[in-house]
Amino acid sequence: MSFSFPEPGAHEALEEGLAFTPKFDRDGLIAAIVTDAKAGGVLMFAYMNADALKATIKTGFAHFWSRSRGKIWRKGETSGHEMAIVEMRVDCDQDALWLSVDVAGTGAACHTGRKSCFYRAVKTGEGALGETLAVVDDVRLFDPAKTYGG
């Protein structure tokens, strides 16, 4: 793809301008938060490189950069849980994206089979440091061993 995103401008342009100039980090990545368009709530957090972002914009389906596998990945390509973008937003300094999506199939976003990757709570408040996590969602919408050939 020959298109390149413009270089980020100065402070004012970055925050108040209408030019989309995503700021990639030194690894060429930008943070991407994914929430459920219907129910709200954070489903997952991942990174995109420029090509994954371009593919996401062009197709309307979420693509990410897999740091562990070192390749672009169309979310749901194996599991069928594709993510259709309902709305994508960028933050004030253009170094983070928020994707509000409809998840296909069972609606699960997490490779563990759960709806959201955020299924454990961290306790807070006095005496909470060092406490164990609390499971807040243990429903598996699919069996990862079957889907990914575990």
Task: Report the residue from 51, 102, 131, 143 that binds its own copies according to the rule CB under 8 A.
Answer: 131
CA-atom Rg of the chain in angstroms: 17
Task: Report the residue from 69, 70, 122, 150 that binds its own copies according to the rule CB under 8 A.
Answer: 122
27 is in an annotated binding site: no
Binding to its own copies by residue 33, rule CB under 8 A? yes
Considering CB under 8 A, how many residues would be counted as binding its own copies? 53
Residue 77 neighbours by CB distance under 10 Å? 11
Question: Pattern of binders to its own copies over 35-74, x per CB under 8 A?
Answer: x----xxx-xx--------x-xxx-x--------------
Could you tell me which residues come within 8 angstroms of residue 17 by beta carbon, excluding any fewer than 6 positions away?
Answer: 9
Placement of tokens 């937003």 in the chain: 89
Residue type, 134: A
| CA 16 to chain CA mean position, Å | 24
CB of 50 to its own copies, least distance (A): 11
Calpha distance 137→31 (Å, rounded): 24
Could you tell me which residues come within 8 angstroms of residue 123 by beta carbon, excluding any fewer than 6 positions away?
Answer: 131, 132, 133, 134
Binding to its own copies by residue 111, rule CB under 8 A? yes
Binding to its own copies by residue 14, rule CB under 8 A? no
Placement of tokens 């700021």 in the chain: 23
List the binding residues. Answer: 91-93, 95, 110, 117
The site for its own copies (CB under 8 A) is made up of 3, 15-20, 31, 33, 35, 40-42, 44-45, 54, 56-58, 60, 85, 87-92, 96-98, 110-112, 114, 117-126, 128-136
